[in-house]
Amino acid sequence: MVESLMVNLGERSYPIHFGADLSGRIVGDRQTVLAAGRKFAVVTDRHLLERQGPVMASLGGGCPQLALAPGEETKSLGALGRALDFLAEQRLDRTSVLLAVGGGVIGDLAGFAAASYLRGIDFWQVPTTLLAMVDSSVGGKTGVNLQAGKNLVGAFHQPRAVYVSTGLLATLPAREFAAGMAEVVKYGLLGDAALLARLETSPLTAACPDLAAVVRRCCALKARIVEADERETAAEGGRALLNLGHTFGHAIEQVTGYGAYLHGEAVAIGLAAAARLSLKLGLIDSAAVARTDRVLAAHGLPVRLRAPLPLAGLMAATARDKKVRAGALRFVVLRGLGDAATQGGIDPALAEACFREVGAE
The CATH number given to whatever domain includes residue 38 is: 3.40.50.1970
Tell me whether residue 183 is in a domain. Answer: no
pTM: 0.95
Do 160 and 289 sit in the same domain of this protein?
Answer: no
Do 218 and 78 sit in the same domain of this protein?
Answer: no
Contact yes or no for 33/25 (Cβ under 8 A): no
Do 200 and 155 sit in the same domain of this protein?
Answer: no
Residue 196 one-letter amino acid: L
Do 22 and 96 sit in the same domain of this protein?
Answer: yes
Do 237 and 351 sit in the same domain of this protein?
Answer: yes
Digits of tens for pLDDT over the chain (361 positions)?
779 999 999 999 999 999 999 999 999 999 999 999 999 999 999 999 888 888 889 999 999 999 999 999 999 999 999 999 999 999 999 999 999 999 999 999 999 999 999 999 999 999 999 999 999 999 999 999 998 889 999 999 999 999 999 999 988 999 999 999 999 999 999 999 999 999 999 999 999 999 999 999 999 999 999 999 999 999 899 999 999 999 999 999 999 999 899 999 999 999 999 999 999 999 999 999 999 999 999 999 999 999 999 999 999 999 987 767 667 789 999 999 999 999 999 999 999 999 999 999 9
Do 15 and 106 sit in the same domain of this protein?
Answer: yes
Tell me whether residue 184 is in a domain. Answer: no
Last residue within a domain, chosen from 136, 171, 206: 171
Per-residue pLDDT at 53:
86
Name the DSSP class of 305: -
Domain that holds residue 53: 3-171
Last residue within a domain, chosen from 110, 139, 171: 171
For 17-58, the DSSP string reads: EEES--HHHHHHHHHHHHHTT--EEEEEEHHHHHHTHHHHHH
Tell me whether residue 41 is in a domain. Answer: yes
Tell me whether residue 345 is in a domain. Answer: yes
| Cβ-proximal residues to 162 (8 Å cutoff; 6+ apart), any chain | 14, 15, 16, 17, 124, 125, 126, 127, 137, 138
Q: Say how many domains are in the chain.
A: 2
Secondary structure (3-state) at 195: helix
Per-residue pLDDT at 328:
79
Per-residue pLDDT at 171:
86
Q: Please give the Cα distance from 359 to 361 (Å, whole number).
A: 7
The total of other beta-carbon atoms located within 10 Å of residue 331's CB is: 29
Do 149 and 207 sit in the same domain of this protein?
Answer: no
CATH code of the domain in which 270 resides: 1.20.1090.10
Do 159 and 256 sit in the same domain of this protein?
Answer: no
Do 64 and 121 sit in the same domain of this protein?
Answer: yes
Secondary structure (3-state) at 319: helix
Do 150 and 251 sit in the same domain of this protein?
Answer: no
Do 153 and 201 sit in the same domain of this protein?
Answer: no
Element at 262 (helix H, strand E): none
Last residue within a domain, chosen from 123, 138, 171: 171
